[in-house]
């Protein structure tokens, strides 16, 4: 009996599952917010893994210079370590979202563990004196690495979070990153309506060098805001103005 059709179908299903669970834009496992890539003139800069004492302050200065508000997805235990810095981020008008307490890969954990990670991160952020914005009654949450499965998204909905992913991946976390490499990827991907993924910290520890991410931020704002006139807003404002209905 020939088994190859079954094998091909199995490989195809596995590929579909991996694509929808790992790639940022697919919606096969459930709706997430990725902006409106290729449509409109709104843009959202987002930063993961902070706050970071080494580079978050400089990033705040840069965003203020360009009169831009961004969205920061904070790791819970860093929020506990640096509550004053997180308060500075919020006081500057930027939106704060949940990025779990320990930066866990959520699909590989039980529902109870995911709930605990979400709860501890939110408690750390709010314990720092920061009010997390509500979008249609839900807080913002970004799964670490963007990884998700149907159960992950179900738990997020049940716990009162809207999952935020992205449409532009600039790979600024890689070991051999450079500002030039980041900008080459930006040139290829940015088309308007995008949610851009960058990092002001690193889950591996406080003080991580993110100078290339900050330099790329300035170049992105110069090219797409100053020269092309795109409007950079927070995720809550982008959701409101694009009419996205939170699942």
Question: What distance in Å separates the CA atoms of residue 36 and residue 51, rounded to the nearest whole number?
Answer: 27
| Angle between helices 179-189 and 211-220 in degrees, nearest 10 | 40
Count of all residues that appear for the chain in the document:
247
Query: What distance, in Å, lies between the first and last C-alpha atoms of the chain?
Result: 45
Give the torsion through C-alpha atoms of 119, 125, 131, 133, to 10 deg.
-60
Question: What distance in Å separates the CA atoms of residue 98 and residue 72, rounded to the nearest whole number?
Answer: 9
Is 48 a catalytic site residue? yes
Point out the catalytic residue in the list 48, 49, 172, 194: 48
Q: Pick the closest to residue 163 from 178, 174, 148 (CA basis).
A: 148
Note if the bond before 51 is cis, omega within 30 degrees.
yes
Phi first, then psi: what are they for 103, rounded to 5°?
A: 60, 55
Assign 45 to helix, strand or coil.
strand
Point out the catalytic residue in the list 103, 199, 200, 212: 199
Q: State the Rg of the chain over Cα.
A: 18
Q: Residues 174-179: contacts with CB within 8 Å, 24+ apart?
A: 177/212, 178/212, 179/212, 179/215, 179/216, 179/219
Is 103 a catalytic site residue? no
Q: Which residues are catalytic?
A: 48, 199
């Amino acid at each position: 009996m020939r088994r190859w059709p079954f094998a091909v179908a199995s490989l195809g299903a596995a590929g579909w599952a991996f694509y929808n669970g790992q790639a940022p834009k697919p919606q096969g496992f459930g709706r997430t917010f990725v902006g409106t890539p290729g449509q409109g003139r709104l843009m959202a800069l987002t930063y993961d893994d902070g706050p970071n004492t080494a580079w978050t302050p400089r990033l705040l200065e840069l965003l203020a210079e360009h009169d831009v508000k961004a969205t920061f997805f904070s790791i819970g235990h860093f929020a506990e370590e640096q509550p004053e810095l997180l308060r500075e981020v919020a006081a500057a008008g930027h939106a704060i979202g949940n990025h779990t307490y320990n930066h866990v890969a959520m699909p590989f954990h039980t529902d109870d563990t995911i709930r605990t990670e979400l709860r501890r991160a939110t408690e750390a952020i709010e314990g720092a004196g920061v009010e997390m914005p509500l979008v249609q009654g839900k807080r913002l949450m970004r799964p670490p690495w963007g990884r998700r499965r149907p159960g992950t998204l179900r738990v997020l909905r049940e716990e009162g979070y809207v999952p935020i992913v992205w449409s532009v991946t600039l790979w600024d976390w890689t070991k051999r990153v450079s500002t030039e490499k980041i900008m080459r990827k930006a040139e290829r991907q940015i088309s308007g309506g995008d949610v851009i993924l960058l990092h002001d910290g690193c889950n591996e520890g406080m003080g991580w060098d993110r100078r290339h991410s900050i330099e790329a931020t300035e170049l992105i704002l110069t090219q797409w805001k100053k020269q092309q006139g795109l409007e950079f807003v927070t995720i809550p404002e982008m959701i409101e103005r694009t009419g996205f209905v939170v699942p």
